[in-house]
Chain A
Amino acid sequence: MNFDQYNATSSSEHTEYHFTSTGPKGDFPKIIQYTYVEEAQVYNLAFGLLREDGGIDDKYRTANGDTEKILATVGNTVLSFTEKYPDIPVFATGSDAIRTRLYRRMLSLYKDEIQKTFSVYGRKDGVWHEFEINIAYDAFLVIRRKGGKFDTELKTSANEEE
């Protein structure tokens, strides 16, 4: 996805990613984490502000005018993460109704592009449905398509120091 986005870094296992939101309100370090939910056999996607004390805040509004750039960055980590863990669905929902609507809007805007690589589902009235625009879902699942257009081996350029 060639949208404007931040440079992110990843932990060795690709379950944590970090980037810095920059804008008129300042620089805000952000962390993304994919947490395995064993009971449901999915990875939960969550992200938020990494505070100076090392704590996390997923409700803080940085209001840096870069929401789309942040979500594009998160989208790129989904690409990266699912290349490493292609067979496990990724679950996401907002920490509040406003954020959930925002995610829905972004998924709707880029639906065609996203669906080249992922099957996307939304939950409505407790049931999972194939994602369609203008439906008020309250949670989302993305599953990497087998043999999808971009479902190719991870390209790496190793530069290791031992």
Chain B
Amino acid sequence: MKKNKEITPKNGRSIAIDTELNKFSGKVLFKNKVDLAKNILAQSPVPKELRA
């Protein structure tokens, strides 16, 4: 099944779905950045009151 759906963020530009990009889903492409995020957030967790 090929999908070619356009999404338009409100007040943003349309973004088309490209199912070719699904090959990256589930893979961590930026492991160094994710590890950095984990380190920073372990030191500084997101305060509960900031969450929706």
Chain A residues in contact with chain B, CB under 8 A?
1-2, 5, 7-18, 31, 33, 35, 37, 39-42, 44, 46-48, 56, 58, 76-77, 79-80, 83, 86-87, 89, 91, 93, 95, 117, 119, 121, 123, 126-128, 138-139, 141, 143-144, 146, 150-152, 154-162
State the B residues within 8 Å of A (CB). 1-19, 21-22, 24-25, 28-30, 32-34, 36-38, 40-47, 50-52
A-side contacts of B9, CB under 8 Å:
76, 79-80, 83, 150, 154
Chain B residues closer than 8 Å to A17, beta-carbon distance:
15, 21
Q: Is the CB of B41 within 8 A of A156?
A: no
CB contacts between A and B, total, < 8 Å: 180
List the 3 closest A-B pairs by CB distance, nearest first. Answer: A46-B30, A79-B9, A40-B41
**CB-based contact B41/A161 at 8 Å:** no
**Chain A nearest CB: distance from B33 CB in Å?**
4
- Cα of A7 to Cα of B41 in the assembled complex, Å: 32
